[in-house]
Structure 1
Amino acid sequence: MPSCFKLSAAFLLTATCFILTAVVHSQEQMTTCDSDPFHVHRLTCDEGVITVDEALYGRSDSMVCSEGRSPQEVANTQCAQEGTLRTMSALCNGKKSCEVNTGAFRNPDPCDGTFKYLATNFSCTPTLILIACEDSLAELFCGPQLVLLIHGADYGRRDRTTCTFERPRAQIQNTECLGPSEVVATMCDGKNNCVIPATNGVFGDPCRGTYKYLEVAYTCECYVSWRDTKSGSWYMETVDRILEEHAATDDLNMPSCFKLSAAFLLTATCFILTAVVHSQERMTTCDSDPFGVHRLTCDVGVITVDEALYGRSDSMVCSEGRSPQELANTQCAQEGTLRTISAICNGKKSCEVNTAAFRNPDPCDGTYKYLSTNYTCSDTLILIACEESVAELFCDPGYVIAVYGADYGRRDQTTCTFERPPAQIQNTECLGPSEVVATMCDGKNNCVIPATNGVFGDPCRGTYKYLEVAYSCECK
């Protein structure tokens, strides 16, 4: 190949943005067979938030969800419930994950006698979501030469699962109090990093007596520094703005091309990809509430805890309304905090810990303490398919699936639980490993696995289960 490429500034910027866009956009699909009155249809994004593109409740294919069904039950492939797309969009758009019961679409029956399923095609947009439980600090930050752009922020509560670990039931019942706020955009737009306390003092109290959280949707925008060779002035603009204003007319006063070796171009590409799929995160929760919840979450991949502190190492953190004496000791640390947080959170997409777990024995009596965790989001992907759904693993062209692990059963009372009877979600100690997924999917570009007892056996009869798969996409 030629020893170098000559790339215009516009082309290089376009290519860089294309790489970033290709990584953060993905097309997903979920299908749930409607064979149970309480079946749960779960959509989730590893990165960004859900945008529903197509949705069908009925039947358009005689092979989908056909196991054990008579020819008459799968013959009608022109069956569709009116309004399914509208309903799914209203329930799921803009969320990282959502769960819908198939029962919501049964009445009126669109085709009596036909065995139906709920199928949704959706996109994961590049918007990032940060959730900070009440009395935590929302810490938003971007990589070098990237700045924050806030798409939306809400403070309050929209569900009974977020920021609920060991909270009193009465404090999480009101799920209609999440209201938008311009505070985050005002304080953070255009900055490389920003810290916002998730408190009533900053956002007001939309629902007294309810334990709240701050939910922020944002992106990191690429800014490029460049020098006008005529005036000698330096400018800083987004890539989109540069391309929009200059690329079409090629009037940008920059060198007309860059000479890049093939090796350099590949290295730069790998660096961009690595920067996207690995991220450093931080969460700090002030210990001002007997039931304070510390929540860690990854948009991409799973959590690896790097550092954790319960105590105080900084006199300014969580200092609002505290006396100098309560902040003076900055050498306070509870032994074993890193070990405890790692055991609870490592390998999960999100986890919640109550600050009360670290209070006894008190590491520094009289000092006002906080729980702070630095963690990495690795590039391992997690796919969860509720029982009787179909797990669809796939990679971009040129990549193949590498399965790190798969479990079938149940490990918590929040996943795949929407409108399920309580008795079916109580057993949280039945999730067992399985080699089936690796055997069937390793080395393939895409793979479909039914999340059923017929494939994995039944590790806990009477419990509604799910399949959890950790995998990555490797170069061929």
Structure 2
Amino acid sequence: MHSFVRFCSALALVVTASVLLAGAEKMTTCDSHHLNIHHLHCETGVIQVEHALYGRTSSAVCAAGRPPWQLANTHCARPGTLKDMRTRCNDKKTCDVNTRFFRKPDPCYGTFKYLQTIYTCQPAFTVVACEDSLAHLSCDKGLVIRVYSANYGRRDRKTCVFERPWVQVRKTKCVHPTEYVPGRCNGKNKCTILASNSVFGDPCRGTYKYLEISYTCEPLVVTASVLLAGAEQMTTCDSHRLNIHHLHCEDGVIQVEQAMYGRSSLAVCAAGRPPRKLANTQCARPGTLEDIRTRCNGKKTCDVNTRFFRKPDPCRGTFKYLQTNYTCYPAFTVVACQDSLAHLFCDKGLVIRVYGADYGRRDRNTCVLGRPWKQVRNTECLHPTEIVPERCNGKNKCTILASNSVFGDPCRGTYKYLEVSYTCECKTIIL
């Protein structure tokens, strides 16, 4: 696990640089009475708290009208203030916190205190969908979604109130953070989510709710990690029906970067072929990259028959090949035989991110002990599932039952297993 910790730290350093470039805001609120509201706001983007203090570290701040004995202690700081401010404010456009929340326990009795926060505005898109409507997330071509936060409920009386009676909008302390949205949308170019009790549950019965999401768009592949992992290229000439395109990672799991079925070179797979079958070097079957990613991403080994790509023929009369560039991402692989449990877990401070999960059978070597031949002979029974990332992404530990009752039965009569590949990454970036 230590490699993931180091990678996490490196990522934090990269993000720190961009945060500093984005500029920073400082908010100070003197804790003079019970209505002191600490107000953070981002005109563009969302709040990212960098430092927070409740107490006193300066004799000059919030000093007007105060006797010297209330200002003398400049080593007063309430423990946990940074964590509490991040929990309340991170990934929101606006955040109001009453200073009275921090008064107990009193970090320095008799000292006049203040709440001070330094924060940046992280570039982000915000989407709001009223209850029973759809939230649409999308990125430009070549970029994918990364959700900062998602909340279902209500936290003001201004959003989604049109023609709603007072009784349905009066409750504003109804915020239900959810991991469902990042589980469904992270890594995709487009994503649509229904803002509904049937999806998120009902955090406040009788209140008309809405789904609020903040997200950014980032490159599909993190270049630094790809370069560290190294790259492989596999080329398979499509000469007969048994041509198998074989991708394999000794360590980690497959992440397909580029894939092409057709011809883009005169020299590749040219031996024994007449010039007329090599002349067209502008031949590429649409959708090949997506198909290879669907079949191979997140697996240690992937075998694909080239015949799968022949129809429709992208260039009739041209001799074609399948070529894939891929990297091996560091990952853990868990296999659970049918009706047993798969346990995913990370070190303290890290959370799960699932690369791929499949329920079914793709070989005759896994989960075969004591099973008759007829229960293991079907090796074309592969059922990719989003249930595992939806349940486990963002958690420190996760247990899933490998069962037809959970995933359905992709091949009746076959004894199946659940195969999951995942990594551990930072839950929050600490600067």
TM tier, shorter chain? 0.3 to 0.5
Name which one, 1 or 2, has greater alpha-carbon Rg: 2
TM-score relative to the length of structure 2: 0.42
TM-score normalised by L of structure 1? 0.39
